[in-house]
Structure 1
Amino acid sequence: MLDDTIAAIATPLGEGAIGIVRVSGPEAIAIAEKIFVSRTGVDWRRQGSHRLFYGLVVDPDTGQPVDEVLLGVMYAPRTFTREDVVEFNCHGGIVPLRRTLELVLQHGARLAEPGEFTRRAFLNGRLDLAQAESILDIIRAKTDAGLAVAMSLLSGELSSRVRRFQDQLLGILAQVEADIDFPEEDIEVASREDLKISVLALMGDLEELIHQARFGKVFREGLRTVIVGRPNVGKSSLLNALLREKRAIVTEIPGTTRDVIEEVVNIRGIPVRLADTAGLRDTDDIVEKIGVERSRELVKAADLVLVVLDASTGLTSEDRAVLELVDEQKGIILINKSDIGDGEGLARQVADLYPDKPVEVISVKTGYGLSKVEEAIERLVLGGQATASQMPLVSHVRHKQALVRCHEHLQEVLRALSAGENIDLVAIDLRAAWEALGEITGDTVAEDIVDRIFQDFCIGK
């Protein structure tokens, strides 16, 4: 338990039906006693944990009521932070929430830092570090699949697998250290070949999780997708069609889009961060030129590029320049305006020139082929190898890096065993592999990493 009490507004600021001031720590109940008055005459302090009480928040210095509230009372250790917690369920306006928080702070609490409630849950053993990180993922989830990945992490599925790996490592390490400590004793010690078999089996399981990481990252962060093409091929119309709303301005005038428009769309459970860019062409217009340069920068950083061509004009020199720009990128070529042009003919021509990229014939105006675009995105991203139902998924770069470091140490173990090196060196790498896995759950993580994780949280969470 920590020895101070923290408080914060736990709901978004602004007008709403309800706003919550959350208080956690050893003085939470005492603070509530000072500023909460029951309207029913119930002695709420004697009614037990996890109950709501109707009453008023009152300034004890003036006797002036601040708000009519429901007070939630939860006693340690059966709370999110494993500390005493009270929550003032206020009317959802800025003034009553701010005044209630001010009174709480005046009577013994301090303002919580970003993510401090979740950090206390971690420090008090309520969550491990991977589970704590999942809280932010749940808040930021853009699709049902992204939410499922975050909930899997919160449930501890990844942590359970990591701990099983750690137990396996400890078993291997125990055999190695028995050989180190008692070389002359009649103790049954695994041979180097047996140790290699055990290490290889563990490495195979690690490789499976590392492979899953790229899918988990997509579900968690979204797929950075850029729509590119020369002016007036239908890029903005495609954005509107995939969003199913008129987000971008569409006209017959080339160069209408001069800046980048970004939106998130749910495509078959994949959160796709779509960016509609300025048409790629040489121009003397200063504003449009800036937009074109930004488009080129986005293409370089994209996970996926959707190249839009115009079936009604055929393949132009500007189209070829666009295709050359994205030649090294993962992408899908879309032949638009097939309702007024030879889409199939242009598709065959482009497929011959760029056989490594999928080509789809579409008409944004009529809706033809849009479902095939969604299928192509799903196929290209997941390759039929992962869905949100395959849990647990590694979705954080930090977790993947820890798994990779563990794998690298085990590779050193194999090398040392094969080369007949001193068994002490094997033990060192086995311990390092165990510590790398401990960074995922927080068992061996440095404090500066913990600080960096929780600074991304909002105040009140």
Structure 2
Amino acid sequence: MEDTICAISTPLGKGAVSIVRLSGNKSLKIMEEVFSSKSLSYNQIQPRFMYFGKFDLGEDATEKCLAVYFKSPFSYTGEDLVEFQIHGGTLLTQKVLSRLLECGARLARAGEFTKRAFENGKISLDMAESIIGEINAENEGELKASLNLAQGKLAKRIKELQSSLAESIAQIEATLDYPEEDFEKSAKEEIFKNITNVDNVLSDFICQAQNAKYITNGINVAIVGAPNVGKSSLLNALIGVDRAIVTDIAGTTRDVLTESVGYKGISLNFIDTAGIRDSEDVVEKIGIEKSKNSISSADVVLFVLDGSRQMQKYDQEIDNLLKNKKNVIKIINKSDLPRVLSSTNDEIVISALKEDNILSLKEKIFTMVIDEDIDFNKDIIISARQIDILKECKLTVQSILASQQQSMDVIAMLIKQLWNGLGKITGESENESIIDLIFSKFCLGK
């Protein structure tokens, strides 16, 4: 890591402020070449102190600028690091970056600042992934889960598990080194008690991780039904705005329309589909086909019926279409009109027009997918990579628990395999190609 790297850390475009970063052992030297301030003497520079001065753009041009120096190891990357804050603007920001390159810095690769933080021991690999989660978070739940993981709680718990495994390995080594002491039986009991505890912790992690898909992507909810049963009115009621066109004309919705709304920290992604019926209209037929595809990919399907009339041909066809589909909620709409269609306890009766019972419907959708309210203060793992590793570790634990009749050598080998597997989460035993892949997901200035 001898190179000094630089990058723009804020989005390009017009704005109040742009930030350009430098990191590496030449950062202070480059800062001295391009930045001057009446209040700054470089042989007495104060770290983490904001200086106001001028940035030398070259060709006798300067830019008013704020600059701050972070001395190694007390910086984001663990290296000497400098940040320049200048007026926002694409051309001006590019000129500042070009000047730093002229002075010997290299353009940073995607995620290289955070990768250096990892390599210098400032953060663990799971904390780096949580930063990606913070940046990409699109709902309250995903942000809370990422912020929680960014505090290093997961890394701490993983290291506690590894420490307990190391103690078990030490016990095995003792029985092998001193066989005459004959304490293998008692050692085995203690070791397998510890492995059972590790198994319980991993099970808890994996159980929490089952919600990761929904925290990250939200719950996909398809709204289906025959034409004119009130699907678009229901979408508008669910999201709280008039997003879909509502008319009495059958076939008004000809394409799939998707809108999201937050509920208990999770995004509910509602998909308003074209009314399913026989149609000769080419465009409407395409929309109907998309409706059927939405049913197959949805986590929950809302089957909307018109309560002011009996079930008709298309209602029955849709009902048959959904017979083998899990997580279907039957909705009897138009409760504001005289009721004709009878209901049972299985249906939810609503008025999309009056927005009656909409909150109960959202709760039903949520509980149908999420077994219980998510506690975002727990270590909820939202990285698919981490979840896969935990599942691999769980299999290794099962192998250990099934090896009680094996020799201590075999048990020790399996426990070491488990220790290394857990280390992949924090990055202690992960290979370079996986690490590079993780950091490539960051932007250049991060």
- TM bucket normalised to smaller: over 0.9
2:264 is the alignment partner of 1:268: yes
Report the CA distance between 1:188 and its aligned residue. Answer: 6.5
User: Aligned equivalents of 1:193 and 1:185: distance in 2?
Assistant: 16
Distance 1:176 1:342, change over 3 A: farther
- Please tell me whether the aligned partners of residues 351 and 357 of structure 2 are also in contact (alpha carbons under 8 angstroms): yes
**Aligned partners of 1:80 and 1:214: how far apart in 2?**
32
1:332-411 superposed matches below 5 A: 332-342=329-339, 345-348=341-344, 359-389=347-377, 391-411=378-398
**Paired residue for 2:328?**
331
Secondary structure of the residue that 2:429 maps to in structure 1? coil
Q: Which runs of 5+ in 1 are unaligned?
A: 352-357
Count residues in correspondence.
Answer: 445
Report the Cα distance in structure 2 between the residues aligned to 1:448 and 1:74, rounded to whole angstroms.
30
Q: Distance in 1 between matches of 2:254 and 2:43?
A: 62
Aligned partner letter, 2:359: S
Q: One-letter code of the match for 1:101? A: L
The Cα offsets for residues 392-412 of structure 1, whole Å up to 9 and x where unpaired, read as 112222222211111111111
Partner secondary structure for residue 132 of structure 1 = helix
Letter in 2 for 1:455: S
**Residue 30 in 1 paired to residue 42 in 2?**
no
Q: How many Å separate the matches in 1 of 2:208 and 2:123?
A: 23
1:7 partner amino acid: C
Counterpart selection for 2:250 from 233, 254, 265: 254
Q: In 2, Cα distance between the equivalents of 1:107 and 1:306?
A: 61
Match of 2:9 in 1: 10
Q: Which amino acid aligns with 1:332?
A: I
Change (3 A) 1:43 1:289: farther
Change (3 A) 1:273 1:458: farther
Deviations 1:106-150 (A, max 9, x none): 222222222221111111111101100011111222333322211
Q: CA deviation at 1:278?
A: 2.6
Query: Which residue among 301, 308, 311 is the counterpart of 2:307?
Result: 311
SS across alignment from 1:205 = helix
Bigger mean CA deviation after superposition, 324-333 or 123-132:
324-333
Change in CA separation of 1:4 and 1:431 when aligned onto 2, cut-off 3 Å: same
1:412 to 381, 395, 399: 399
Change (3 A) 1:289 1:131: same
Structure 2 vs 1, CA of residues 292 and 43 (structure 1 numbering), >3 Å: closer, same or farther? farther
Residue 427 of structure 2 aligns with an amino acid whose one-letter code is G
Match of 2:48 in 1: 50
Which residue of 2 is the match for residue 442 of structure 1? 427
Aligned-residue CA RMSD (Å): 2.3
Which deviates more from structure 2 when the two are superposed, residues 363-372 or residues 448-457?
448-457
Please state how far the C-alpha of 1:437 moved relative to its aligned partner.
0.9
Q: What amino acid is aligned across from residue 280 of structure 1 in structure 2?
A: I
Within 1, Cα distance between the matches of 2:338 and 2:168?
Answer: 66
Aligned mates of 1:64, 1:250 — CA distance in 2: 59
When the two structures are superposed, what TM-score results if normalisation uses the length of structure 2? 0.92
Change (3 A) 1:328 1:70: same
Equivalent of 2:57 in 56, 59, 64: 59
Deviation at 1:253, TM superposition (A): 2.5
Q: 2:273 aligns with which of 263, 274, 277?
A: 277
CA distance in 2, matches of 1:250, 1:366: 14
Question: Residues 228 and 59 (structure 1 numbering): CA distance in 2 closer, same or farther, change over 3 Å?
Answer: same
- SS of 1:56's partner is strand
Match of 1:355 in 2: none
Name the CA distance, whole Å, in 2 between partners of 1:55 and 1:218: 48
Provide the C-alpha distance between the structure 1 equivalents of 2:408 and 2:196, rounded to a whole number of angstroms: 17
2:146 to 128, 131, 150: 150
Q: 2:112 aligns with which of 101, 113, 116?
A: 116
1:237 aligns with 2:205: no
More displaced stretch, 288-297 vs 432-441:
288-297
Q: Does 1:451 align with 2:436?
A: yes
The match for 2:407 is 422
Say whether residues 1:433 and 2:418 are aligned partners: yes
Q: What is the DSSP-based 3-state SS (H/G/I as helix, E as strand, rest coil) of the residue aligned with 1:126?
A: coil
Structure 2: give runs of 5+ residues left out of the alignment: none
- Is residue 305–residue 332 contact of structure 2 (8 Å, CA) maintained in 1? yes
Q: Tell me the CA shift for residue 212 of structure 1.
A: 0.7
Q: Distance in 2 between matches of 1:266 and 1:214?
A: 19
TM-score of the two chains, using structure 1 as the length reference? 0.89
CA displacement at 1:302 relative to structure 2: 2.5
SS of 1:51 mapped into structure 2:
coil
Is 1:313–1:341's contact at 8 Å kept on the other side of the alignment? no
* C-alpha contact (below 8 Å) 1:149/1:216 kept by paired residues: no
Q: Cα 1:58–1:303, aligned 2, differ >3 Å: closer, same or farther?
A: same
1:261-287 superposed Cα distances (whole Å, 9 cap, x missing partner): 333311122122333233333333332
Cα 1:425–1:116 change in 2 (3 A) is same
Give, as a single letter, the amino acid of the residue that structure 1 aligns with 2:358: L
How far does the alpha carbon of each residue in 1:333-361 deviate from its partner, in whole angstroms, 9 at most, with x for none? 32222212528x5432xx5xxxxxx5321
Q: Name the counterpart of 2:290.
A: 294
